[in-house]
Amino acid sequence: MAPMYQAVLVVAFGYFVDIFDLTLLSMLRSPSLSDLGYASTTQIEAGIFLLNTQMAGMLLGGFFWGILGDRKGRLKMLFASILCYSIANLLNGFVQDLNTYAVLRFFSGFGLAGELGVGITLIAEILPQKSRGLGTTTVTAIGVLGAVCSGAFVEFVTWRTAYLVGGALGLVLVLMRFRMQDSPLFTAGQSQPKTGAKNVRWGSLRLLLGSWKLTRKYILSAMLGLPIWCIAGILFVFSPEIARALGVLEPVVASRVIAASYFGVSLGDLTSGLLSQLFKNRIRVIQVFMVLNFLLVAGQLLTAAGNTAGHYYFWAGLVGFGTGYWTLFVTMGAEQFGTNLRATVATTLPNLVRGAVIPMTLIFGFLKSQIGLLPAVQWIVGVVALTCFAGSFFLPDTFAKDLDYFD
C-alpha cells in the first residue's frame, strides 16, 4: 500500500479510537456517577464538572500538541498524544472518587486534543490537492463511527471495562507509528526554508495572534464549528433530562442518543465531503449544513412531546447528520494557514471549539435556573447557530488552495 494511503487509514483508525474514548464520558456519566454514590438529582452538576474538566484538558492540549506539531513534527506529536490519552483512559477504569475521575478526564482530554488536528494536517500535506478533501473525509467519516461502536459496546460491559478497552485500543495505535513517515512539506520546510523565508517562525502563537489578518481568520474559522459542539455538549449529553422535559413517553438513554447521532454525523461528514468535491467549494456546503442543522434541531424539539424514545433516537440521528460538516471545518482550518502554522491551527481550532463547551454549559446552567431547562436549550442553540452562520460569510473558500507556503 502506498505510504499516503496507509497514513489515511492509520489516522482514520486513530480518530475512531479518539471518538470512542471522547464520547465515553457522555455515555457513562449516569452509570459511573451512580456507582460512585451520586444521586440522579446531582448528576447534572457533577456531569458538567467532569465534562468541563475534560474540555479544559482538550483546550490546553490543543495548543500544546499543535505548537509542537509545527516545531517537532506531525508524526511524533500524533502518537505522543495517543499515548497520553490511552494511559489516562486505562487509569480511568480504576477511579473511586469524583476528583480523581476529573483529573484523569483532564489528562485524557489533553491527549485526545492532539489526534485529529495533527492527523488532518498530516493528511492534507501528503495528499495531492485534488484528493486531499477525499482523504480528510475518509478520516472523519470512519472516525466518528467510534461513537457508534462505543454506544453499542457500553450496552454490554461495565463502565470501568469500557474505559479499559478504550485505553487498550490507543496503545495498539502507538505500535503502528513505526511504519509511517512525516509530512514532506514539514520536513522540506524545516531543512531547506524557501528563499526569503529563512526566519520563518514555526508554531508561533505570537505570529498567529499578533496579526489582525491572521487572528480574524482564526476566529472566523473557529466560529464554523461552534454550533456542532453546542449541540453535542448540551443537546446530546443532557438528552435524558431534556427528553423528559419535552414529554417523551419513555426514558431516553444518553449512550443511545450519542450512538444514533454519531451515526448521523458519519453519514453527514461523508455527504458534505463528497459534495465539496463535487462542487469544488467547502464554505458553501458548510453554510447549507448549518441551516439544515438548525432546522433539524427545531424539528426534534417540536416533535418529541408524547412520542417514544425510538422517535427521539431517530431525530438524534437526523440532527447528527446536520452537524456532519466537521470534516470540512477541520480541513478548512488546515488549509487557511501556512505550513509553519498549520498544525497549530488545525489542532487548536477543534479543541477551542470543544473547549467552548465550558462557557456554553455554564451559560446553559445559569439560564436553566432562571428560565427553565427547555427555554435555556432553545436560547443557547439559537444564538450560537445564527451568530456563527453570519460569521461564515466572511471566510474565503480554500478548496483549490496550494498549501506549500508560509505565513
The residue type at 84: C
Instruction: Please compute the mean of the pLDDT values over residues 218-225 and round it to a whole number.
Output: 94
What does the pLDDT read at residue 178? Answer: 58
Q: Is residue 192 part of a domain?
A: no
Q: Which of 139, 130, 62, 329 is nearest to 221 (CA)?
A: 329
Q: Is residue 406 part of a domain?
A: no
* Sign for the pseudo-dihedral over CA of 296, 268, 228, 144: positive
Q: Is residue 352 part of a domain?
A: yes
* Sign for the pseudo-dihedral over CA of 336, 337, 343, 349: negative
Cell of 346: 488545525
Count of CA atoms in the C-beta half-sphere (13 A) of 134: 9
Q: Is residue 190 part of a domain?
A: no
Instruction: Please compute the mean of the pLDDT values over residues 149-159 and round it to a whole number.
Output: 87
What does the pLDDT read at residue 255? Answer: 82
What does the pLDDT read at residue 248? Answer: 94
SS (H, E, C) 334-386: HHCCCCCCHHHHHHHHHHHHHHCHHHHHHHHHHHHHHHCHHHHHHHHHHHHHH
Instruction: Quickly list DSSP for 243-291.
Output: HHHHT-SSPPPHHHHHHHHHHHHHHHHHHHHHHHHHHT-SHHHHHHHHH
- Place 196 in a pLDDT band, splitting at 50, 70 and 90: very low
CA distance 291 to 288: 5
Over residues 88-100, the pLDDT tens digits come to 999 999 999 999 9
What does the pLDDT read at residue 179? Answer: 65
Q: Model's pTM, two decimal places?
A: 0.83
Does the structure show a pLDDT above 70 at 68? yes
Over residues 353-392, the pLDDT tens digits come to 888 888 998 899 899 989 999 999 999 999 999 999 999 9
Over residues 301-333, the pLDDT tens digits come to 999 999 999 999 999 999 999 999 988 998 898
Does the structure show a pLDDT above 70 at 258? yes
The residue type at 134: L
Q: What is the CATH number of the domain that holds 221?
A: 1.20.1250.20
Q: Is residue 399 part of a domain?
A: no
7-21, 104-118, 220-234, 364-378: least confident range:
7-21
Q: Is residue 196 part of a domain?
A: no
What does the pLDDT read at residue 150? Answer: 87
- Place 247 in a pLDDT band, splitting at 50, 70 and 90: very high
Average pLDDT in the chain: 88
Does the structure show a pLDDT above 80 at 49? yes
What does the pLDDT read at residue 193? Answer: 52
Residue 64 contacts residue 113 (beta carbons within 8 Å):
yes
Q: Is residue 98 part of a domain?
A: yes
Domains of the chain: total: 1
Over residues 337-353, the pLDDT tens digits come to 998 999 899 899 988 88
Does the structure show a pLDDT above 60 at 195? no
Could you give the angle at the alpha carbon of 363 between the alpha carbons of 358 and 367, nearest 5°?
Answer: 150
Q: Is residue 97 part of a domain?
A: yes
Over residues 162-176, the pLDDT tens digits come to 999 989 988 887 777
What does the pLDDT read at residue 73? Answer: 85
CA distance 81 to 85: 6
Domain that holds residue 331: 3-182+203-394
Over residues 261-280, the pLDDT tens digits come to 988 998 999 999 999 999 99
Instruction: Please compute the mean of the pLDDT values over residues 34-57 and round it to a whole number.
Output: 84
- Please indicate whether residue 299 or residue 255 has the higher confidence score (pLDDT): 299
